[in-house]
């Protein structure tokens, strides 16, 4: 014989709560685990696939539904979907300890993989394994958090690693292809490109000098990429990324 749950309570099974505080009131929605992140990334667009209950609550576990008066006062609308979407995007995800640990492990692994792919030992020109990067970050007391994308945290960690040099480490170079038009061959552009695109022993097989040819294949420091993109827009030349992280062993 089934046991009836108290009508004023909701049994929380496989649920992630998303909470948002507005006008000193806390609003909650009950979602399926992992679906909130999928929605935020644009992978999942159907609210019914994300929500366990299509409703806005003041307290999910007690089954306290938010009144229309509270929604209007705090969100400026009584449209449930509009309110849910705002909570979904801006709210704080409340995870169980197990969920939090699983997410931290996933983010940490993604972050270490990104760092390993984007960085090299500047002497040996080889990548570090994720385990060594993890050890160096532990020494620097850098720990991932659940509310930031792994890529963003990886870039923060790279800056710290490069700055502190717990291990000899530098960003791997990017390989780019620049296609110039005849009108692009001016001295100002040549000077700027020669400052951005690396030359010398580290790039001797693919010199960066602007010649009579219309194509330049060269290596750049990743921090210079935005500057190069801006220059490409200003001077109307084509820019392509051939490789995001090159192991430069031409020395």
Residues 146 and 181 in one domain: no
165 and 101 in one domain? yes
Question: Does pLDDT of 1 surpass 50?
Answer: no
The residues, any chain, with a CB within 8 Å of residue 119's CB and separated by 6 or more, are: 127, 128, 133, 158, 161, 162, 169, 170, 171, 172
Residue 133 within a domain: yes
Shared domain check, 78 and 126: no
Last residue of a domain, one of 126, 146, 171: 171
Model confidence pLDDT, tens digit, residues 141-179: 999 988 788 999 999 999 999 999 999 998 888 888 888
* End-of-domain residue from the set 171, 186, 206: 171
d(CA 175, CA 94): 42
Give domain status of residue 9, yes or no.
no
**Average pLDDT over the chain, rounded to an integer:** 82
CATH number of residue 110's parent domain:
1.10.10.900
Q: How far apart are CA 109 and CA 150, in angstroms?
A: 9
Is 128 contained in some domain? yes
Examine the domain organization and report whether 136 and 182 are in the same domain.
no
The two three-digit tokens of residue 195, written as one number: 């400052």
pLDDT value at position 40? Answer: 85
**Could you tell me if 80 and 102 lie in one domain?**
no
pLDDT in tens, 199-236: 544 444 344 455 555 677 888 888 788 888 888 888 88
**149/223 Cα distance (integer angstroms):** 20
Answer whether residue 182 shows pLDDT above 90: no
Say if residue 159 is in the same domain as residue 188: no
Longest CA–CA separation in the chain, Å:
86
CATH no. for residue 50?
3.30.1250.10
223 and 206 in a common domain: yes
Q: Is residue 4's pLDDT more than 50? A: no
For residue 7, pLDDT beyond 50: no
Which residue carries 């749950």 as its tokens? 5
Length of the chain: 251
Question: According to the model, what pLDDT value does residue 131 have?
Answer: 95
DSSP letter for each residue of the chain: -PPPPPTT----SSEEEEEEEETTEEEEEEEETTHHHHHHHTS---HHHHBSSSS-EEETTTTEEPPHHHHHHHHS---HHHHHHHHHHHSEEE--HHHHHHHHHHHHHHHHHHHHHHEE-TTT--PPPHHHHHHHHHHTT----TTS-HHHHHHHHHHHHHHH-SS--EEPEEEEEEE--GGG--HHHHHHHHHHEE-SGGGTTS-----SSSEEEEEE-GGGHHHHHHHHHHHT-EEEEEEEEE-----
Structural domain range at position 64: 15-94
Is 10 within a domain? no
Q: How far is CA 193 from CA 50, 110, 137, 245, in A?
A: 48, 34, 35, 20
Is 219 within the bounds of a domain? yes
Average pLDDT over residues 168-193: 80
Please state the rounded mean pLDDT for residues 96-105. Answer: 81
Give per-residue pLDDT as tens, 45-93.
898 899 999 999 999 989 999 999 999 999 999 999 999 999 999 988 8
Is 0.85 surpassed by the pTM of this model?
no
Query: What residue has token string 């994720």?
Result: 130
Sheet with 92-94: strands ordered across: 64-65, 57-59, 25-32, 15-22, 92-94
Question: What total number of domains does the chain contain?
Answer: 3
- Boundary-marking domain end, from 126, 155, 171: 171
């Amino acid at each position: 014989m089934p046991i009836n749950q108290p009508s004023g309570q909701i049994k929380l099974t496989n649920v992630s709560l998303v909470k948002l505080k507005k006008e000193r009131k806390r609003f909650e929605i009950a979602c399926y685990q992992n679906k909130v992140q999928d929605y935020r990334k644009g992978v999942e667009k159907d609210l019914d696939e994300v929500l366990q209950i299509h409703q806005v609550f003041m307290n999910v576990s007690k089954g306290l539904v938010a009144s229309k008066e509270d929604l209007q006062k705090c969100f400026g609308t009584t449209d449930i979907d509009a309110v849910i979407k705002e909570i979904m995007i801006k709210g704080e995800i409340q995870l169980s300890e197990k969920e939090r640990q699983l997410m931290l492990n996933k983010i940490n692994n993604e972050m270490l993989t990104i760092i390993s792919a984007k960085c090299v030992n500047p002497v040996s020109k080889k990548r570090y394994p994720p385990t060594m990067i993890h050890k160096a970050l532990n020494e620097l007391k850098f720990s991932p958090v659940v509310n930031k994308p792994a890529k963003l945290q990886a870039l923060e960690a790279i800056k710290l690693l490069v700055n502190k040099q717990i291990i000899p480490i530098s960003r791997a170079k990017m390989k780019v292809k620049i296609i110039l038009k005849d009108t692009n061959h001016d001295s100002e552009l040549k000077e700027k490109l020669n400052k951005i695109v690396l030359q010398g022993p580290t790039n001797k097989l693919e010199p960066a000098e602007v010649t009579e040819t219309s194509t330049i294949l060269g290596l750049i420091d990743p921090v210079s990429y935005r500057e190069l993109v801006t220059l490409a827009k200003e001077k109307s030349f084509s820019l392509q990324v051939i490789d995001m992280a090159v192991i430069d062993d031409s020395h």
